[in-house]
Amino acid sequence: MLALRLARGAHPLVQTRRLLVAVAAAGVGFLLLCTLGYAVGHPERSSASVLRLLWCVLPLAATVQFAVAVARTDPSTRPRPGLSAIGLGPARLTAIAAASTAVACTLGSMVALLFYLHLRGDITGLPFDGAAADLLAADQPIPLAAALTLLAVLPVVAATAAGLALRPRTAPAAPEGAEKPVPSGLPWGISLVAVGLAIETYAGRSGAAEGLPLPGRFDGNPAGVLAGWALTAVGLAMAGPALVHGCGRLLQSVRPGATRLLAGRVLMDESRRIGRPLGVVSAVVSGALAAAALYESGTGPGAFGPLTGLGAALVLACTTATLLTAALESKQCRAHTTEALLRIGAPPTVLRSAALMRAGVLLAVFLPLTWAVAELAALPLTG
- Per-residue pLDDT reduced to its tens digit, 260-285: 998 899 999 988 889 999 999 999 99
Give yes or no for a contact between 248 and 268, defined as CB atoms under 8 angstroms apart. Answer: yes
CB of 279 closer than 8 Å to CB of 238: yes
Mean model confidence pLDDT for the chain: 80
Mean pLDDT of 88-101: 80
Strands (E) located in 181-226: none
Please tell me the distance from the alpha carbon of residue 67 to that of residue 18, in angstroms, as a whole number.
8
Q: What is the model's pLDDT at position 219?
A: 43
**Taking 50 as the threshold, does the pLDDT of residue 76 lie above it?**
yes
φ and ψ at residue 42, rounded to 5 degrees: -130, 70
pLDDT band (50, 70, 90) for residue 127: low
Q: Are 70 and 22 in contact (CB under 8 A)?
A: no
Rg (CA), the chain: 23
Output the pLDDT for position 170.
59
pTM: 0.84
How far apart are the C-alpha atoms of 382 and 373, rounded to whole Å?
14
3-state DSSP call for residue 10? coil
DSSP for 25-46, please give it: HHHHHHHHHHHHHHHHH-TT-H
Q: Is the pLDDT of residue 1 over 60?
A: no
Is it the case that residue 103 has pLDDT exceeding 60? yes
Closest CA to 93 of 110, 71, 120: 71
Give the three-state DSSP class for 211: strand
Residue 118: CB atoms within 10 Å: 15
Mean pLDDT lowest among 71-75, 94-98, 222-226, 260-264: 222-226
What lies within 8 Å, CB to CB, of 179 at 6+ separation is none
The string of pLDDT tens digits covering residues 149-180 is 999 999 999 999 998 988 876 555 444 444 55
For 323-379, how does the pLDDT look when each residue is reduced to its tens digit (9 = 90+)? 999 988 888 888 888 888 888 888 888 889 998 999 999 999 999 999 999 888 877
Q: Are 64 and 58 in contact (CB under 8 A)?
A: no
Distance CA 132, CA 126 (A): 8
Contact between 251 and 263 under an 8 Å Cβ cutoff? The reply is: yes
Query: Other C-beta atoms within 10 Å of 96: how many?
Result: 21
Range name among 47-51, 129-133, 281-285 with the lowest pLDDT average? 129-133
Angle (CA) 73 76 82, round 5°: 125
